[in-house]
């Protein structure tokens, strides 16, 4: 079976085995290390010469030990320990890439970077990797994948990292309209793919975000609602990429649905954000909306206890529609009707798109649009089918 090697640079945290990890044949636990890139500065890299000066040994001896050949070259254990302790003390990191190239049996496996913004829901990250593993399990490709978290307004650093040849290809997720314009005006010099963004300059796998908002309002109108509400991801407020919200608002106007300002709440795309937004809706006073659209399923799951404590019965008093289709939405009480975002299928498509460009750099960009069916469950409709 072909394997993909996932390398991640994240805030230090010990990850235990999950379904995703076991399916990728990882060990029982692995460490994801502190990110040192994307505008936060690089860790000072002490040279072998500095370690040699500190230990009063030759640079050759230090190099042999740091490359794991101390025993082979019969260097005393105490000397090896002295070198290793000195290297650890100054924060030395070996050049693993160079070491691998020196190995006679090393293979040139494509390396793909996944650039993931810090404000994009971590819930999507797990689903993304569930999808990314499919081309490996189907034995299509063999590659390494590195997660590169990034902060907004650092797109020039992404371009710099890619243009330096650190990776064979890149997949960019959650980029803003401004960031997308920058990349289209300043193309990355390696094959790159956009996840859930439409572009004529780059290959991309996306959905019709405006249509998701539009058909959500259409469903509420068809269900006979007059007063509705919604939650807006805080990082999308007043941005060009907020097409889902725009589609919802414009469709509400078209279908005569009342959408009051107090029934529009902004919140982080987290369970805490969804819970807090529900509290504000309840405490806002006046008549409550009879239907709510949540931008992420886990936000709606966290809102359910607040509605329950306020005596609001879902779906009798309020119907709820979410976006995403995470497992939590299937097993909440009530189960949540959702507009499905096919993250896994889109992630697999991104891998295939970037690998095809790696193998054929002269190929033209391809755009793949995915369907977003409504999965009916108990919270809205309760019909038990897709639309």
pLDDT of amino acid 133: 87
Q: Where are the domains of the chain?
A: 4-42+105-207, 48-92, 209-342
CATH top class, domain 209-342: alpha beta
pLDDT of amino acid 90: 82
What is the pairing mode between strands 29-32 and 13-16?
A: antiparallel
Q: What is the pLDDT of residues 278-301, one digit of tens each?
A: 999 999 888 999 999 999 999 999
Could you give the CA distance from residue 69 to residue 363 in angstroms, rounded to a whole number? 44
pLDDT of amino acid 239: 65
CB-based contact 383:376 (threshold 8 Å): yes
Q: What is the pLDDT of residues 53-106, one digit of tens each?
A: 999 999 999 988 888 888 989 999 999 999 989 888 887 766 656 666 565 555
pLDDT of amino acid 26: 31
Q: What is the DSSP string of 65-104?
A: HHTT-TTTTT--HHHHHHHHHHHHHTT----HHHHHHHST
CB-based contact 149:184 (threshold 8 Å): no
Q: Is 250 exposed, middle or buried (0-12, 13-18, 19+ CB in 10 A)?
A: middle
pLDDT of amino acid 36: 31
Could you give the CA distance from residue 198 to residue 180 in angstroms, rounded to a whole number? 10
pLDDT of amino acid 33: 32
In terms of DSSP H, where are the helices of the chain?
A: 19-23, 48-55, 59-66, 77-89, 96-102, 122-132, 134-137, 155-163, 177-185, 209-222, 243-255, 271-283, 297-309, 327-331, 343-359
**Per-residue tokens: 10:** 């994240």
Low-confidence ranges of the chain (pLDDT < 50): 1-45, 384-385
pLDDT of amino acid 91: 77
pLDDT of amino acid 17: 30
**Peptide bond between residue 334 and the one before it cis (omega within 30 degrees of 0):** yes
pLDDT of amino acid 242: 86
Domains 4-42+105-207 and 209-342 belong to one CATH topology: yes
CB-based contact 373:387 (threshold 8 Å): yes
| Torsion sign (Cα): 83, 87, 92, 97 | positive
How crowded is residue 81: how many other Cβ atoms within 10 Å of its Cβ?
Answer: 12
pLDDT of amino acid 141: 78
In the chain, the largest separation of any two C-alpha atoms, in whole Å, equals 83
CATH top class, domain 4-42+105-207: alpha beta
């Amino acid at each position: 079976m072909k394997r993909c090697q996932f390398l991640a640079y994240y805030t230090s945290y010990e990850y235990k085995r999950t379904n995703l990890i076991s399916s990728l044949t990882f060990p029982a636990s692995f460490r994801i290390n502190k990110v040192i890139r994307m505008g936060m500065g690089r860790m000072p890299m002490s040279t072998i010469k500095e370690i040699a000066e500190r230990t009063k040994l030759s640079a050759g001896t230090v190099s042999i030990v740091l490359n794991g050949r101390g025993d082979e070259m019969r260097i005393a254990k105490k000397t090896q320990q002295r070198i290793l302790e000195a290297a650890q003390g100054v924060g030395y990191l070996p050049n693993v890439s160079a070491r691998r190239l020196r190995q006679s049996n090393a293979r040139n496996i494509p390396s793909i970077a996944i650039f993931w913004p810090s404000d994009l829901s971590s819930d999507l990250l797990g689903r993304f990797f569930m999808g990314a593993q499919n081309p490996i399990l189907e034995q299509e490709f063999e590659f390494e994948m590195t997660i590169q978290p990034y902060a907004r307004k650092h797109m020039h650093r992404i371009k710099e990292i890619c243009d330096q040849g650190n990776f064979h290809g890149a997949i960019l997720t959650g980029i803003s309209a401004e960031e997308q314009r920058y990349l289209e005006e300043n193309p990355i010099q390696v094959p790159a793919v956009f996840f859930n963004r439409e572009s004529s300059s780059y290959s991309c796998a996306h959905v019709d975000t405006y249509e998701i908002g539009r058909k959500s309002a259409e469903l509420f109108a068809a269900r006979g609602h007059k007063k509705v509400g919604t939650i807006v991801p805080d990082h999308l407020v007043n941005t060009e990429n907020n097409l889902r919200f725009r589609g919802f608002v414009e469709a509400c106007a078209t279908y005569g649905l009342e959408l009051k300002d107090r029934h529009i709440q902004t919140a982080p795309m987290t369970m805490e954000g969804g819970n807090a937004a529900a509290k504000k809706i309840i405490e806002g006073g006046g008549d409550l909306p009879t239907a709510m659209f949540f931008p992420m399923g886990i936000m709606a799951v966290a809102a359910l206890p607040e509605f329950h404590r306020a005596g609001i019965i879902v779906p009798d008093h309020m119907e709820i529609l979410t976006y995403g289709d995470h497992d939590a939405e299937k097993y909440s009480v009530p189960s949540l009707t959702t507009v499905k975002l096919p993250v896994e299928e889109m992630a697999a498509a991104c891998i295939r798109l970037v690998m095809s460009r790696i193998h054929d750099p002269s190929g033209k960009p391809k755009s793949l649009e995915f369907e977003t069916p409504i999965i009916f469950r108990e919270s809205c409709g309760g019909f038990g089918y897709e639309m």
